[in-house]
Structure 1
Amino acid sequence: MIPASFDYVRPASLAEAVQVLTQGGEEAKVLSGGQSLLPLLRLRLAYPSLLVDVGRLGELHGIRDEGGHLHIGATTTHDEVVRSPLVNAECPLLALATATVADPAVRHRGTLGGSLAHADPAGDLPAVAVALDMEFVIYSTSGERVVAARDFFLDYLETALGPGEILTGIRVPKLGPGWGYHYEKFHRTAQAWATVGVAAAVRVSGANGGTRRIEEARVALTNMGPTPIRATAVESAIQGTDLPDPHGPPGTDPVREAAARADENTSPPSDLHAAPDYRRHLAQVLTHRALLTAATTP
């Protein structure tokens, strides 16, 4: 379909971008890579009167080390995140999850900030942001403010971004040594949205011999509600438990028992792809896989 008519502006600076966006009011939208917004325009599910294109603003692009965290500019593409030595060294979970987004063509055009600001609960990256306690840097004519990931996603396709505000960057904390990571998802085809996804980060002790124990875990779920969900029940249940010996005699599996609580406090949607009960089952199975893989991945 053909989108409804709109005005288009490509500002030369961030200051100009927020000024134009503020003047446009609630009917103005920010355009970056366009991989989320353009399909909505073509289907006429969005009717902005103004598009403010920030895709070529250098101040919103790039990855840098800022000590305790990485700062990733909002217009940094998915492909750049996947290939970044800094991201792979300091936050492998983000690189792993980003590599599963859609297909190479989308990853070369789509941006990290655009995906997070779009806030689709079936998107892969919001759950990673919540699991890792990322922070979102937001700019407007009033200045800069920082919002924690847990407070950024408010509802389906709704975020803490207000009129005239632009997401300029994402702060990704460094968890340090001893952590393993994994992103596990179920989807119908390689390009499809996740039916359910699980982002897991696990800190294990005893990796060099002796009993291996999960000292801490962070787990967040994709497409189990209108926003990404932190699986706190799983985190509490698995903390301090010993990993089962894969070569030992059969017995209780604390990882599986913890993963069985993955669907607590969730509200999975019902659509053409899956019923809520099926998604609850998937959440438990995928959480078990994600935890075990993360616990055995350095």
Structure 2
Amino acid sequence: MTETEFDFLRAYLKQRSGLALTAEKRYLVESRLSPVCRRFNLAGLTELVGCLRLARDSAIERAVVEAMTTNETFFFRDRTPFDLFRDVLLPGALATRANQRRLRIWCAAASTGQEPYSLAMLLAEAAPRLAGWRVEIVATDLSTEVLEKARLGLYNQFEVQRGLPVQLMLKHFAQVGEQWRIAESLRQMVDFRPLNLLQPFEQLGTFDIVYCRNVLIYFDTLTKADVLRRIADQLAPDGAVLLGAAETVIGITESLMPDPEHRGLYRHGRAAPPVSLGAPASTTTTLGTTLGLAAPASPPTMAGLRWAAR
């Protein structure tokens, strides 16, 4: 691969996915795109670049972008964002949305589904308190390949052991050969959709809670600012955004600002924000100490809890 071809691929990937590659990432491009060449019977990266320049094969174009995206994820990743949902955001929603009885959640970089399914498990645990509510989890990702896996809800032993308490695994999963499938009731709770965050997403509507975790780190500052501004446009006035542990809005945008009481939580960047969707910080506990450890023998009933039609 020549320098000219590498520069073309860097520009192509940034335009198509927002991925900002430094010159030191040449090895990564070669290692991830070589399998794409073999898959489409191309002689090498030079021929691949030629195909991309001609823009005649959407399958190759999609495969290139998907090959370069990072899909690292696991159940209840980093724990704190899920503690905040269970102990702060959900109780806050129950209080502030008691009249509307509607809650919309968006997982903006859902990958193979562990994040939205983790939230679905928490909602299933809270089903008695959500009787009569309309709850929607929209989960999006750039990669159609990972979304197919997410919809299946089928994970290997390693995947279910990463971050998932054994009580929840036994409660919400059934073994299928050497793999584990998440319960149909939980799969029905999540609406998986393909979406490129660089493209308009106002058609998704307004959300009360947005998880956009561990994706902004791959963007340059201008792209981060644009995505965060547009997320803020889709956020309810008292809504909340959760970013990854290595991500922040500070120095990037004024559309959102850190919640002074909860690290990793962001609100609308207004001088006088409305009453927040949330509860006192002192209520937060740790997932590993409470979640699933005293679970009933059978899953909680979800009768009366309505999931948005898809």
- TM-score category of the 2 structures, normalised to the smaller one: under 0.3
- Normalised by the length of structure 1, the TM-score is 0.27
Structure 2 length as normaliser, TM-score? 0.26
